[in-house]
């Protein structure tokens, strides 16, 4: 309630926020999370908490009247559907030249993502975050993150025979034929549960076209792992449908945090101000960067370093599809389990997840999300005319990602005698290059913060999420975000809280 005082306030409940909440509460600190999305615990009239990809309703999207699917077209026709405006689980936040997909709700991105839990290559981690002791990361914090997240691996014998990974097997075969290496990807989706889905022993989720709008079963999202463990301490409270709008030093020490409460139609129902001794920014790369950039511009946190808002990248994301000759299967698991690993290529590293196209019918589509080593970066700036935060990313900055991915998929197409689909991302448009699943950076470790996420000049203010990672990590990012948060929180609790 307005006027309350809390020892620790965490803004956002994604990976960074969930780690902060668990480590603070375990250290005996009463902790309050402020989360703009809702708690995904109550079933709708159909008995399900989340809707699937084939029949999206208001639950799918954050306050939109039409879905904004990543694959927005089919046969060149718009594929989006009208929905009722609701605080749904997937947001697509539009900037001048890109749309950033993000999860909204208790659990953040873990609610909507594909669950791929990939530890980065050590050499690339060291290149991206040279100030972090990689020996410690790979011995302690990556294993801790993988355990806390509930990461598991697929039974490879089952993978080879199950209908639901036919799409991955044919993409592997075509990649291998063209000389590329493929690799299995760990996941937080319970692969034993998936096996039982395939055997019709349990309700289906990954095998019922569920991903990106949430999974009703099988997925170990943060509300079931880190956040559940934090709640079990009895020291965690969460305000949902509350968006932090302002943050400034409080007269008596600590910070004044202002927020608006909305209802599920997006209408403001209250504004509140509380004070907190410590504030942990975990609103994600975009959310944390936007908040801190506007607080600096509005004079509420005037001494923030000039690096705040800098160093944003899209992890080299670009999507593409091939029109195959191979049967990819009517039944496709929504959880990817295999990738093409061409990262060692000096002409343009590519790590491409073999993505499902779970339409429930045979479509002969091979879809990929490529992660490339794109050197381009952008910055967030406050726009005093609109009162909003702009992102400077330009369409042309995606070109290095397209060039790298094109080398791989041209080679695969040429060997297989196949062509690109040009009907899925627009009309005669090959590349899904105007959206991102992996926003990273904006408050880079060692630049906008010290080497542990402490904000210089503001005692008790921390950044703990994906905004710490400078724009690229070479694989799907949540394991790295989690492990870095584990490392930083251990240091902060040991040195700042005692």
Chain residues binding ligand FDA by CB under 6 A are 11-16, 34-37, 101-104, 108-109, 112-116, 212, 243-244, 282-285, 287, 291, 437-438, 465-466, 476-478, 481
Question: Which DSSP symbol is given to 121?
Answer: P
Compute the least distance from the CB of residue 316 to ligand FDA, in Å: 13
DSSP string, 381-402: EEETTTTEEEE---GGGGHHHH
Place of tokens 């109550």: 42
Q: How many Cα atoms occupy the beta-carbon half-sphere of 57 within 13 Å?
A: 8
In DSSP terms, which residues pair with 351 in a beta bridge?
341, 371
Q: Which is nearer to ligand FDA, 321 or 416 (CB)?
A: 321
CB of 107 to ligand FDA, least distance (A): 7
Query: At its nearest, how many Å lie between ligand FDA and the CB of residue 301?
Result: 14
For ligand FDA, which is the closer residue by CB, 198 or 292?
A: 292
Of the two residues 212 and 230, which places its CB atom closer to ligand FDA in the complex?
A: 212
CB of 102 to ligand FDA, least distance (A): 5
Q: What does the alpha-carbon distance between residue 180 and residue 175 come to, in Å, rounded to a whole number?
A: 5
Closest to ligand FDA by CB, 13 or 146: 13
Q: Which residues are CB-contacts of 233 (< 8 A; sequence separation ≥ 6)? A: 25, 26
Give backbone dihedrals phi and psi of 291, rounded to 5 degrees, phi first: -65, -50
Helix (H) or strand (E) segment spanning residue 7: strand 5-11
Taking the complex as a whole, the smallest distance from the CB of residue 141 to ligand FDA amounts, in Å, to: 15
498 is catalytic: no
| Minimum CB–partner distance for residue 244 and ligand FDA (Å) | 4
Closest distance to ligand FDA from the beta carbon of 109 (Å): 2
CB nearer ligand FDA, residue 311 or residue 477: 477
- CB proximity list for 16: less than 8 A, separation 6 or greater: 280, 282, 284, 463, 464, 465, 466, 481, 482, 485
The nearest distance, CB 142 to ligand FDA, in angstroms, is 13
160 catalytically annotated: no
Residue of 35, 310, 353, 486 with catalytic role: 353
**CB hemisphere CA count around 232 (13 angstroms):** 9
Nearer to ligand FDA, 287 or 432 (CB): 287
Q: Which is nearer to ligand FDA, 416 or 455 (CB)?
A: 455
- Whole-Å CA distances, 87 to 61, 209, 224: 7, 21, 21
Closer of 244 and 424 to ligand FDA (Cβ): 244
Task: Tell me which of 32, 93, 210, 438 is the catalytic residue.
Answer: 438
Q: Which of 311, 312, 319 is nearest to 424 (CA)?
A: 319
CB of 422 to ligand FDA, least distance (A): 23
Q: Tally Cβ neighbours within 10 Å of residue 439.
A: 29
H or E element at residue 138: none
Nearer to ligand FDA, 416 or 485 (CB): 485
Whether the CB-CB separation of 359 and 328 falls below 8 Å is answered with no
Pick the closest to residue 282 from 135, 103, 459, 95 (CA basis): 103
The Cα angle at residue 240 between residues 238 and 245, in degrees rounded to 5: 105
Q: Give the up-direction half-sphere exposure of residue 315: CA atoms within 13 A in the CB hemisphere.
A: 27
Q: Please, is 414 exposed, middle or buried when counting C-beta atoms within 10 Å of its C-beta (0-12, 13-18, 19+)?
A: exposed
- The set of residues, in sequence order, having a beta carbon less than 8 Å from that of 53 and lying 6+ positions away, is 69, 209, 210, 211, 212, 213, 334, 358
The Cα angle at residue 438 between residues 400 and 130, in degrees rounded to 5: 75
Residues 6+ apart with CB under 8 A from 234: none
Residues carrying an active site annotation: 353, 438
């Amino acid at each position: 309630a307005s006027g309350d005082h809390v020892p620790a306030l965490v803004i956002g409940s994604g990976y960074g926020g969930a780690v902060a909440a668990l480590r603070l509460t375990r250290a005996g600190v009463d902790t309050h999370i402020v989360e703009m999305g809702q708690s995904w615990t109550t079933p709708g009239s159909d008995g399900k908490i989340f809707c699937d990809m084939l029949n999206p309703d208001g639950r799918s999207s954050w306050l939109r009247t039409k879905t904004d699917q990543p694959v927005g077209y089919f046969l060149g026709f718009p594929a989006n559907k009208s929905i009722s405006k609701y605080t749904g689980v997937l947001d697509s936040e539009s900037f001048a030249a890109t749309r950033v997909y993000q999860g909204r709700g208790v659990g953040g991105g873990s609610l909507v993502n594909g669950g791929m839990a990939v530890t980065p290559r050590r050499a690339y981690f060291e290149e991206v975050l040279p100030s972090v002791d990689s020996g410690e990361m790979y011995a302690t914090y990556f294993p801790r993150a993988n355990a806390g997240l509930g990461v598991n691996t697929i039974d490879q014998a089952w993978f080879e025979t199950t209908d639901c990974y036919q799409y991955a097997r044919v993409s592997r075969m075509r990649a291998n034929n063209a000389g590329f290496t493929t690799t299995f990807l760990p996941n937080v989706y319970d692969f034993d549960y998936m096996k039982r889905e395939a055997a019709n022993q349990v309700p289906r989720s990954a095998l019922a076209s569920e991903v990106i709008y949430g999974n009703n079963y099988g997925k170990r999202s943060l509300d079931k792992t880190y956040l559940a463990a934090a709640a079990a301490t009895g020291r965690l409270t969460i305000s949902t449908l509350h968006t932090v709008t302002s943050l400034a030093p409080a007269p008596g020490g600590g910070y004044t945090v202002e927020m608006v409460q909305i209802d599920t139609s997006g209408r403001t129902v209250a504004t509140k101000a509380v004070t907190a001794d410590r504030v942990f920014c975990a609103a994600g790369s975009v959310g944390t960067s936007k908040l801190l950039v506007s607080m600096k511009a509005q004079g509420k946190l005037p001494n923030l370093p000039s690096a705040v808002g800098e160093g944003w990248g899209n992890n080299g994301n670009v999507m593409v599809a091939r029109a195959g000759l191979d049967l990819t299967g009517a039944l496709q698991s929504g959880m990817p389990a295999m990738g093409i690993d061409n990262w060692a290529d000096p002409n343009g590293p590519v790590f491409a997840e073999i993505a499902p196209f779970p339409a429930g019918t045979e479509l002969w589509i091979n879809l990929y999300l490529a992660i490339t080593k794109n050197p381009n970066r952008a910055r967030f700036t406050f726009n005093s005319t609109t009162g909003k935060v702009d992102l400077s990313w330009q369409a042309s900055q995606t070109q290095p990602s397209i060039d790298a991915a094109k080398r791989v998929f041209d080679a695969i197409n040429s060997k297989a005698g196949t062509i690109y689909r040009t009907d899925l991302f627009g009309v005669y448009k090959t590349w899904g290059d105007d959206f991102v699943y992996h926003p990273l950076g904006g408050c880079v470790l060692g630049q906008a913060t010290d080497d542990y996420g402490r904000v210089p000049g503001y005692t008790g203010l921390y950044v703990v999420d994906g905004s710490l990672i400078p724009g690229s990590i070479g694989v799907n990012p949540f394991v790295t975000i989690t492990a870095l948060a584990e490392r930083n929180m251990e240091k902060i609790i040991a040195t700042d809280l005692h």
